[in-house]
Amino acid sequence: MFTAAATLCPTTATAQTDDFKYTDEQFADIQMLRYKVEGFEQLTLKEKTFIYYLSEAALQGRDILFDQNGRYNLRIRRMLETIYTDFSGDRNSEEFRALTTYLKRVWFSAGIHHHYGCEKFEPEFSADFFRAALKSVDASKLPLTPGQTVDALCDEVFPVIFDPAVMPMRVNQKDGDDLLLTSACNYYAPGITQQEAEKFYAERKPAGDPRPVMMGMNSRLVRDEFGNLSECVWRVGGLYGTAIERVVFYLEKARPFACTAEQQTVIDRLIEYYRTGDLRTFDNYCIHWLKDTESSVDFVNGFTESYGDPLGMKASWESLVNFKDVAATARAEKLSANAQWFEDNSPVDPRFKKEECKGVSAKVITAAILGGDLYPSTAIGINLPNSDWVRREFGSKSVTISNLTGAYAKAAQGSGMDKEFVIDNATRTLIATYGSACDDLHTDLHECLGHGSGRLLPGTDPDTLKAYGSTIEEARADLFGLYYVADPKLVELGLTPNLEAYKSQYYTYMMNGLMTQLVRIKPGFTIEEAHMRNRALIARWALEHGKKDNVVELVKRKGKTYVRINDYEALRTLFGKLLAEIQRIKSEGDYEAARNLVETYGVQVDAALHKEILTRYEKLNLSPYKGFINPVYTVTKDANGNITDVRIDYTEAYDAQMLRYSRDYNTLPDVN
Ligand code: ZN
């Protein structure tokens, strides 16, 4: 599980003192940022070398994600890139510039659908222009199948790009639809229905296995020529094998430089899993990985999160390489050292609590490279592994990524969001004083404690909540954080300076959930993404249930809507109540209640309010989505090929980076 940056919190951190350039180009609804790898120079050569090889392993899986997001994505990317680099016509024409923007969006989303809203991009260049351009370049650079003409390629692929009715959504979550037939993601072969897929996995679920593997997470479900369903497993020698081999190659290079012998075992298990595709081995790898809390350098590498599958089963490929932010880790460690206290004192029914909180480890890290589904749009907090039984018996490892939250905060300075959307000066001051610190703390609470808290009742199938599972899980973790960020215990632990600070988080959370996150939704669309649904669910539920006591309200001032919180303590009580209910739903696997909550509070958009927010937001000229350009690592080697130095550089442009990645990490064929 991960925490996405709310990015709209009107953080007014202290003035930028260094001259690092955090913001880069803007296109469509995107702003590119850069993150600084603070402390890299102070690492040992061994650590730097380890990071270098792991970063290579992190970049080798890029093509996998493109293919997972849609079966035409690699071909479309390669067609666009060839025009971008080789087109000899007018590069200043509106058509060419529109194609450039489209390509930048395709790079950003690893496909033709929006990374967040999942809807297909509308190209603002014409099919005629694209076809003529494709016919004007060297055909050997185009993704043609043997014997295929450029026209035939266009005929095959153009409807996918230009016809709004073809593959309109990457992940469709609409209640009542066949979620597979209406989703463009490439986890199930075309024509396989939701019912067939659910039946396939239900039949294979071993009854009463207390330690079930996460079935289906590393494969595509396909139909053979006799109509029977089977899995194409992502492994060396299997589907995506050529990419996975390269990942393994660099993991092997990295292995000798691992921080500890235990970490070498982690890498060994991961390689074994990549070779076999065996999910039991994957669980073993996860257990070794989560137990390794000592290593200064750490990584995520593999098929991890299942947000891209409408059934929440198949995992997208991602990678992150990082090292410990020692000072900030002390903060998270205070939380995890007190995990049992937080569990015992939560407003949840004792039947759903963990009697013994195991191994909730927490640290704050500095990201060194982002890859796959964590690039360029990324998480600011990660809690893994996702397996319920592993979490129950062994705990989980939780991180917050300080140089990314720092970069967001720096980029938000002077954005004008707080001026436009926060109700008054007193609240703005509150947010300016405590906002940034409480944001980080909420993320820590969400990741270190929230996801790790609670337990399922014996016999509850962890997949019962189906399409609502992700939203409920994120709501659970967020509510845990909201409830406790206001607790006097945090003042006692020295994590918040006083009993006022949490109010900054309450205000920004409610404002985001009720209003400002809507800037990410196009007019007429509903909320789809799990983290956004969860924020809407919590904020609107609290608004509704606090109505009779006037706890929170939406007020109008000069025609503009604002959130006003009248009773912060009562709001905390409401968060506690909802936390108890959400935990009950999760623990009992109450699908109907989950569906009811999510559909009532988390999905629909108030059209009038939406329009108002979009109008106000537009005037600020900001991009609702942000992503990061990676730094570039270059190595110096001695005569024997040993690395003698690793240097870091932050100057590569977005397009140059993407083109380089497409060239150097070109690991998959056009059709997979
Ligand atoms: Zn989360």
229 is a domain residue: no
53 and 81 together in one domain: no
What is the CA(568)–ligand 1 centre distance, in A? 24
Domain of 130 in residue numbering reads as 63-169+635-664
412 and 545 together in one domain: yes
Please give the model's pTM, rounded to 2 decimal places. 0.81
432 and 536 together in one domain: yes
Look at the alpha carbons of 466, 470, 474, 480 in this order and tell me if their dihedral is positive or negative: positive
pLDDT digits (tens, 9 = 90+) for 16-31: 446 798 999 999 999 9
**Residue corresponding to tokens 């007429």:** 524
119 and 91 together in one domain: yes
368 and 464 together in one domain: yes
What is the CA(382)–ligand 1 centre distance, in A? 7
- Contacts of residue 573, defined as CB under 8 A and 6 or more positions apart, other chains included, come to none
Would strands 229-233 and 219-223 be described as parallel, antiparallel, or unpaired? antiparallel
Q: Which segment of 8-12, 203-207, 280-284, 651-655 scores lowest on mean pLDDT?
A: 8-12
Tokens of 413: 């300075």
What is the CA(398)–ligand 1 centre distance, in A? 10
What is the CA(69)–ligand 1 centre distance, in A? 21
Is residue 333 very low, low, confident or very high in pLDDT (cuts 50, 70, 90)? confident
pLDDT at 374 over 70: yes
Tokens of 176: 């009542």
Supply the mean pLDDT for the chain: 94
Task: Write the secondary structure of 407-470 as one string of H (helix), E (strand) and C (coil).
Answer: HHHHHHCCCCHHHHHCCCHHHHHHHHHHHHHHHHHHHHHHHHHHCCCCCCCCCCCCCCCHHHHH
pLDDT at 11 over 60: no
What is the CA(538)–ligand 1 centre distance, in A? 14
pLDDT digits (tens, 9 = 90+) for 140-181: 999 999 999 999 999 999 999 999 999 999 999 999 999 999
44 and 81 together in one domain: no
What is the CA(20)–ligand 1 centre distance, in A? 30
pLDDT at 657 over 80: yes
Q: What is the pLDDT of residue 486?
A: 98
Q: What is the pLDDT of residue 196?
A: 97
What is the CA(145)–ligand 1 centre distance, in A? 42
pLDDT digits (tens, 9 = 90+) for 571-621: 999 999 999 999 999 999 999 999 999 999 999 999 999 999 999 999 998
What is the CA(445)–ligand 1 centre distance, in A? 10
DSSP reduced 3-state for 309: coil
pLDDT digits (tens, 9 = 90+) for 247-299: 999 999 999 999 999 999 999 999 999 999 999 999 999 999 999 988 999 99
pLDDT at 413 over 80: no
What is the CA(470)–ligand 1 centre distance, in A? 9
Tokens of 333: 């460690």
Q: What is the pLDDT of residue 8?
A: 40
- Which residue, among 289, 293, 374, 297, has the nearest Cα to 337 in the 3D structure? 293
- Which residue, among 660, 422, 439, 399, has the nearest Cα to 563 in the 3D structure? 422
179 is a domain residue: no
> Mean per-residue pLDDT for 394-411?
87
CA atoms within 13 A on the CB side of 569: 2
642 is a domain residue: yes
Helices and strands (H and E) in the chain: how many:
24, 15
- Contacts of residue 69, defined as CB under 8 A and 6 or more positions apart, other chains included, come to 109, 110, 111, 113, 170, 184, 185, 186, 308, 316
25 and 158 together in one domain: no
Say how far apart CA 649 and CA 369 lie, in whole Å: 12
What is the CA(451)–ligand 1 centre distance, in A? 7
| Contact between 435 and 9 (Cβ < 8 Å) | yes
623 or 515, which is more confident? 515
b/e per residue 405-426 (b: at least 16 CB within 10 A):
bbbbbbbbeebebbebbbbeee
175 is a domain residue: no
- Contacts of residue 578, defined as CB under 8 A and 6 or more positions apart, other chains included, come to 475, 479, 538, 541, 542, 545
pLDDT at 556 over 80: yes
| Contact between 108 and 81 (Cβ < 8 Å) | no
116 and 11 together in one domain: no
220 is a domain residue: no
pLDDT digits (tens, 9 = 90+) for 103-124: 999 999 999 999 999 999 999 9
27 and 118 together in one domain: no
Tokens of 358: 């195991």
What is the CA(1)–ligand 1 centre distance, in A? 5
Look at the alpha carbons of 135, 137, 139, 142 in this order and tell me if their dihedral is positive or negative: negative
524 is a domain residue: yes
Say how far apart CA 151 and CA 256 lie, in whole Å: 50
pLDDT digits (tens, 9 = 90+) for 526-538: 999 999 999 999 9
Q: What is the pLDDT of residue 9?
A: 36
232 is a domain residue: no
What is the CA(457)–ligand 1 centre distance, in A? 21
**Exposed, middle or buried: residue 316 (CB in 10 Å: 0-12, 13-18, 19+)?**
buried
Say how far apart CA 115 and CA 76 lie, in whole Å: 16
Inter-residue long-range contacts of 546-553, CB under 8 Å, 24+ positions, other chains counted: 546/570, 546/571, 546/574, 552/510
Tell me which amino acid residue 493 is.
L
324 phi and psi angles, rounded to 5 deg: -70, 135
Say how far apart CA 162 and CA 124 lie, in whole Å: 9
| Contact between 241 and 235 (Cβ < 8 Å) | yes
What is the CA(363)–ligand 1 centre distance, in A? 15
What is the CA(220)–ligand 1 centre distance, in A? 25
**Residue corresponding to tokens 């993150």:** 35
What is the CA(614)–ligand 1 centre distance, in A? 27
198 is a domain residue: no
| Contact between 264 and 278 (Cβ < 8 Å) | no
80 and 56 together in one domain: no
What is the CA(380)–ligand 1 centre distance, in A? 10
What is the CA(583)–ligand 1 centre distance, in A? 14
Say how far apart CA 625 and CA 111 lie, in whole Å: 16
What is the CA(316)–ligand 1 centre distance, in A? 16
What is the CA(560)–ligand 1 centre distance, in A? 32
Say how far apart CA 77 and CA 271 lie, in whole Å: 29
pLDDT digits (tens, 9 = 90+) for 489-514: 999 999 999 999 999 999 999 999 99
615 and 649 together in one domain: no
What is the CA(280)–ligand 1 centre distance, in A? 24
Say how far apart CA 572 and CA 484 lie, in whole Å: 9
- Which residue, among 440, 447, 473, 455, has the nearest Cα to 336 in the 3D structure? 447
CA-CA distances (angstroms) from residue 298 to 59, 291, 539? 16, 12, 35
In the chain, the number of structural domains is 2
pLDDT digits (tens, 9 = 90+) for 36-93: 999 999 999 999 999 999 999 999 999 999 999 999 999 999 999 999 999 999 999 9
| Contact between 451 and 336 (Cβ < 8 Å) | no
What is the CA(474)–ligand 1 centre distance, in A? 5
The separation between CA 56 and the C-alpha centre of its own chain, rounded to angstroms, equals 21
Q: What is the pLDDT of residue 477?
A: 96
460 and 609 together in one domain: yes
Say how far apart CA 542 and CA 276 lie, in whole Å: 48
Q: What is the pLDDT of residue 15?
A: 35
